[in-house]
Structure 1
Amino acid sequence: MTEAALRERICLLARSLFERGLTHGSTGNISARTGDGGLLVSPTGTSFGRLDPARLARFDAGGRHVDGDRPTKEMPLHTAFYDTRGTAGAVVHLHSCHSVALSLLSEPGEDFLPPLTPYAVMQLGRVTLLPFFLPGDPAMGQAVRGLAGKRSAVMLANHGPVVAGRDVEAACNAIEELEATAQLALLTRGMGPRSLTEAQVRRVVDTFDVEWDA
Structure 2
Amino acid sequence: MSSESKLREEIARLSKSLFDRGFSVGSAGNISAAVEDGMLITPTNSCLGFLDPARISKLDGDGNHISGDKPSKEMFLHRAFYETRPQAGAVVHLHSTFATALSCVSDIDEDDCIPPITPYVVMRVGRVKLVPYFRPGDAGAGDLIRLLGGRYAAVLLANHGPVVSGRDIASAVYAAEELEETAKLLLLLRESPKRMLTRENVEELQTVFGAY
Query: Corresponding residue for 2:185?
Result: 184
Answer whether contact 2:115 2:127 (CA < 8 A) is retained.
Answer: no
Q: Does 1:209 align with 2:193?
A: no
Tell whether 2:87 aligns with 1:87: yes
Superposed CA RMSD in Å reads 1.3
Q: Does 1:78 align with 2:81?
A: no
Distance 2:176 2:122 in 1: 12
**CA apart distance, 1:108:** 6.4
- Equivalent in the alignment of 1:150: 151
How far 1:107 sits from its partner (Å)? 4.3
Task: Report the count of equivalent residues.
Answer: 210
Return structure 1 stretches of 4+ with deviation > 2 angstroms: 60-64
CA deviation vs aligned residue, 1:127-163 (integer Å, no higher than 9, x gap)? 0011111111111101100100111100001101001
SS in 1 for 2:110: coil
Q: Does the aligned pair in 1 maintain the 2:8–2:53 contact within 8 Å? A: yes
What residue in structure 2 maps to residue 69 of structure 1?
69
Deviations 1:155-174 (A, max 9, x none): 00110100111110000000
State the distance in 1 between where 2:48 and 2:42 align. Answer: 8
1:88-167 matches, cutoff 5 A = 88-105=88-105, 106-107=107-108, 109-167=110-168
Is the partner of 1:59 in helix, strand or coil?
strand
User: Which residue of structure 2 lines up, in the alignment, with residue 172 of structure 1?
Assistant: 173
Which residue number corresponds to residue 58 of structure 2? 58
The 1-side partners of 2:60 and 2:134 are apart by 28
Gapped regions of structure 1 (runs ≥ 5):
none
- Percent identity, please: 51
Question: Distance in 2 between the 1:62 and 1:102 partners?
Answer: 33
TM-score by length of 2: 0.95
Q: Could you state the TM-score of these two structures normalised by the residue count of structure 1? A: 0.94
Instruction: In structure 2, list runs of 5 or more residues that go unmatched.
Output: none
Deviation of 1:11 (Å): 0.4
